[in-house]
């Protein structure tokens, strides 16, 4: 394979020789979600033990298209520079029907953001960057080849049983967070199951290595001539690796379709013979989630909590937003600065986000693989109309691309301010002085004061914001001034054109109690 999968070192844990002190957080699974959560907790001063059953990064590109929001999260954790240097940014998508392009779009048009809309980088590279960062952090105890074999939660904490090459041991913790993926052992141990829909459609994904000069764009085909009437997707990645997704239909045999002698001729139909096959996988569409993500002292995040088809880049990006939402809440509860009800707000908000992603992914799945009859006729008529009529292009669904969920909230709002920065939305970035607004936000809640003085509220730092054109467009609109209360995860909790200290203090209290 093109990537060298060197193992990380195994170190015998201290629990093999004597009982360990009670830990605050045990995180199970050191994929992108678990690593991001551990790093976010560490930057807030909360230590964690991060258990990983394996000893190497994920095989194959897997999650490889990272959204702007994920890049902003990476920036806070100190790996964005490496990701941006290594990855392939893109903003242009091209949609084809048959062998003809019917329209294109540019996600960066008029955005003015620091980060690109999307960046392609194989998951194994991202995991390496995150792992190196975690290993260097003294607040993260990252243990490889530590497989969880039992979990016993009670009202006050969790007891975890772990198997290593040298034997088994136990850990006690205040909370356990399951980030152990689609086949979560923790979910199985607690006898929890997903709700939702399992589609019959199967897709083949392949990484190929080739010397080429294809543009850094997203190419999607409905019923191309090179693939027997099914859908196809092509992305460029780092290191001359390209990702190809091919729809196989509901009756495909995964083992048979994964054979190189079957895969290579398919890919030759797309890009010709000059390539090396690097990695292959076959998957089926699932739009399912746990009924609840919080089960007492055990919390689920990422694929262990919800499964979403990869079209639209909603899987891993959604998982990182789980970690981003949970980290500050878990740290505040463990530090005694917030009641446990703040953890309940993680469940409420991320279930809302999962449902939104499942709804979008289900619609995309049905558009890509419509049932025969009226459903297929409707899909084909939309594609035909989109060739000629721009208004119909918004109806073409090749996977609605990932954007952060706007949480339902009762936070104070002023309708005179722009919709893009309403409560529940991630604070939009904008140039600020010599840098950028999001980079100027701290680790805690913060009050933005735009074109005004801020009332004095205890324990609430204030960031004066320069009202440049980008800030005016995104934060002021037609108002001449504004105050914004921003959560530790950069989500807007409340905003006012004018407010006194008591109003802001009430909104801040609601934030820490999980009511806003």
SS3 of 86-105: HCEEECEEEEEECCEEEEEE
Supply 270's token pair.
């797309």
Which of 241, 264, 286 lies at the terminal end of a domain, its last residue? 286
10-residue mean pLDDT series, the chain (516 residues): 87 97 98 98 98 95 95 97 98 94 91 91 97 98 98 96 98 98 96 88 90 90 86 94 89 86 89 92 88 98 91 88 98 96 96 94 87 92 95 92 93 96 97 94 96 95 95 95 98 98 97 88
pLDDT at 503: 97
Residue 347: φ, ψ to 5°: -60, -50
Report the chain's terminal Cα–Cα distance, integer Å. 48
pLDDT at 226: 87
Q: Are residues 76 and 46 in the same domain?
A: yes
State the Cα–Cα distance between residues 96 and 94, nearest whole angstrom.
7
Confirm whether 410 is domain-assigned.
no
Confirm whether 437 is domain-assigned.
yes
With beta carbons less than 8 A apart as the criterion, state whether 303 and 323 touch.
no
Confirm whether 404 is domain-assigned.
no
Residue 153: φ, ψ to 5°: -85, 150
Q: Are residues 204 and 280 in the same domain?
A: yes
Which of 323, 357, 391 lies at the terminal end of a domain, its last residue? 357
Q: Are residues 122 and 175 in the same domain?
A: yes
Q: Assign residue 286 a region: left if phi > 0, alpha if psi is -120 to 50, beta otherwise?
A: beta
Confirm whether 482 is domain-assigned.
yes
Smallest Cα–Cα separation from 45: which of 443, 487, 513? 443
The 10 Å CB-count burial string (b at 16+, else e) for 322-357 is bbbbbbbbbbbbbeeebeeebbbbbbebbbebbebb
**Burial status of residue 133 (CB atoms within 10 A of its CB: 0-12, 13-18, 19 or more):** buried
**Residue 474 CB partners (closer than 8 Å, separation 6+):** 418, 420, 421, 428, 430
Which of 266, 286, 306 lies at the terminal end of a domain, its last residue? 286
Q: Among all chains, which residue has been given the structure tokens 């105890």? A: 141
Cα separations in angstroms, 158 against 27, 31, 170, 373: 12, 21, 10, 52
Q: Among all chains, which residue has been given the structure tokens 């964005």? A: 80
Confirm whether 374 is domain-assigned.
no
Domain limits for position 33? 14-88+111-193+287-357
Q: Among all chains, which residue has been given the structure tokens 């999001």? A: 438
Complete DSSP assignment for 425-488: SBPPP-EETTEEHHHH--SS-EEEEESSPPP--TT--EEEE---HHHIIIIITT-S-EEEEE-T
State the Cα–Cα distance between residues 87 and 442, nearest whole angstrom.
27
Smallest Cα–Cα separation from 120: which of 182, 70, 180? 70
With beta carbons less than 8 A apart as the criterion, state whether 140 and 38 touch.
yes
Complete DSSP assignment for 376-407: HHHHHHHHHHHTT-GGGGGG--S-PPP-----
Cα separations in angstroms, 263 against 115, 204, 243, 280, 342: 35, 9, 13, 8, 49
Confirm whether 150 is domain-assigned.
yes
Give me the sign of the Cα torsion angle 61, 63, 69, 72. negative
**Burial status of residue 165 (CB atoms within 10 A of its CB: 0-12, 13-18, 19 or more):** exposed
Q: Are residues 441 and 473 in the same domain?
A: yes
Q: Are residues 241 and 346 in the same domain?
A: no
Complete DSSP assignment for 338-355: S-THHHHHHHHHHHHHHH
Confirm whether 377 is domain-assigned.
no
Q: For residues 74, 78, 80 and 83, what is the CA-based torsion angle, rounded to 10 degrees?
A: -100
Q: Can you give the CATH number for the domain in which 184 is found?
A: 3.50.50.60
Q: Are residues 135 and 258 in the same domain?
A: no
Q: Can you give the CATH number for the domain in which 439 is found?
A: 3.40.30.120
Supply 472's token pair.
């005016």
State the Cα–Cα distance between residues 188 and 241, nearest whole angstrom.
35
User: Rounded to two decimals, what is the model's pTM?
Assistant: 0.96
Domain count of the fold of the chain: 3
Q: Are residues 172 and 136 in the same domain?
A: yes
**Burial status of residue 273 (CB atoms within 10 A of its CB: 0-12, 13-18, 19 or more):** exposed
Q: Are residues 468 and 322 in the same domain?
A: no
Q: Are residues 281 and 343 in the same domain?
A: no
Q: Are residues 256 and 322 in the same domain?
A: no
Cα separations in angstroms, 262 against 61, 258, 277, 286, 454: 20, 7, 12, 25, 65
Compute how many other C-beta atoms are within 10 angstroms of the C-beta atom of residue 472.
17
Q: Are residues 204 and 125 in the same domain?
A: no
Smallest Cα–Cα separation from 222: which of 136, 347, 133, 94? 94
Parallel, antiparallel, or unpaired for β 23-28 and 167-178? parallel
Smallest Cα–Cα separation from 485: which of 458, 513, 460, 465? 460
* Most distant pair of Cα atoms in the chain: their distance: 72
SS3 category, 310:
coil
Q: Are residues 291 and 437 in the same domain?
A: no
Cα separations in angstroms, 233 against 90, 211, 217, 248, 285: 15, 19, 11, 12, 15
Confirm whether 313 is domain-assigned.
yes
pLDDT at 365: 84
State the Cα–Cα distance between residues 334 and 157, nearest whole angstrom.
12
Supply 162's token pair.
């772990």
Q: Can you give the CATH number for the domain in which 256 is found?
A: 3.30.9.10
């Amino acid at each position: 394979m093109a990537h060298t999968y060197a193992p990380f070192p195994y170190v015998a844990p201290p629990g093999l020789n004597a009982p360990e002190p009670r830990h605050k957080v045990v995180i199970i699974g050191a994929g992108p979600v678990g690593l991001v959560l551990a790093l976010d907790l560490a930057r807030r001063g909360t230590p964690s033990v991060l258990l990983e059953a394996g000893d190497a990064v994920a095989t194959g590109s897997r999650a490889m298209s990272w959204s702007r929001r994920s890049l902003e999260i990476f920036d806070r954790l100190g790996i964005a520079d490496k990701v941006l240097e290594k990855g392939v940014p893109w903003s242009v998508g091209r949609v084809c029907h048959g062998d003809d392009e019917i329209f294109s779009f540019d996600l960066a048009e008029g955005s003015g953001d620091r980060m690109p809309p999307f960046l392609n980088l194989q998951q194994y590279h991202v995991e390496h960057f995150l792992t190196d960062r975690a290993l260097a952090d003294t607040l993260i105890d990252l243990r490889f080849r530590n497989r969880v074999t039992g979990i016993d939660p009670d009202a006050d904490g969790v007891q975890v049983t772990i198997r290593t090459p040298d034997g088994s041991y136990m850990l006690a913790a205040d909370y356990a967070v399951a980030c152990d993926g689609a086949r979560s052992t923790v979910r199985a141990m607690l006898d929890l199951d997903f709700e939702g829909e399992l589609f019959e459609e199967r897709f083949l994904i392949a990484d190929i290595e080739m010397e080429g000069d294809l543009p850094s764009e997203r190419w999607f085909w409905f019923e191309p001539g090179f693939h027997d009437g099914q859908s196809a997707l092509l992305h460029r990645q780092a290191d001359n690796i390209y990702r190809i997704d091919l729809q196989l239909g509901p009756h495909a045999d995964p083992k048979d379709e994964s054979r190189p002698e079957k895969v290579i001729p398919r890919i030759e139909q797309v890009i010709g013979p000059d390539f090396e096959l690097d990695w292959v996988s076959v998957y089926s569409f699932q739009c399912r989630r746990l009924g609840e993500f919080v089960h007492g002292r055990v919390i689920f995040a990422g694929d262990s909590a919800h499964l979403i088809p990869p079209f639209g880049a909603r899987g891993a990006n959604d998982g990182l937003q789980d970690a981003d939402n949970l980290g500050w809440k878990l740290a505040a509860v463990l530090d005694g600065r917030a009641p446990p009800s703040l953890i309940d707000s993680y469940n409420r908000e991320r279930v809302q986000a999962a449902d939104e992603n499942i709804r979008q992914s289900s619609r995309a799945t049905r558009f890509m693989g419509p049932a025969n009859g009226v459903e297929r006729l409707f899909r084909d008529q939309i594609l035909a109309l989109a060739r000629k009529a721009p208004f119909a292009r918004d109806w073409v669904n090749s996977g609605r691309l990932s954007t952060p969920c706007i949480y339902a909230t009762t936070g104070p709002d002023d309708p005179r301010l722009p919709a893009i920065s309403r409560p529940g939305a991630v604070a939009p970035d904008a140039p600020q002085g010599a840098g950028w607004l999001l980079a100027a936000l701290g680790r805690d809640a913060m009050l933005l004061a735009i074109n005004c003085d801020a009332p004095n509220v205890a324990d609430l730092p204030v960031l004066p914001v320069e009202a440049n054109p980008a800030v005016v467009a995104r934060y002021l609109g037609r108002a001449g001034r504004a105050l914004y209360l921003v959560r530790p995860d950069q989500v807007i909790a409340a905003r006012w054109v004018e407010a006194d200290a008591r109003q802001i203090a009430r909104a801040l209290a609601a934030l820490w109690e999980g009511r806003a």
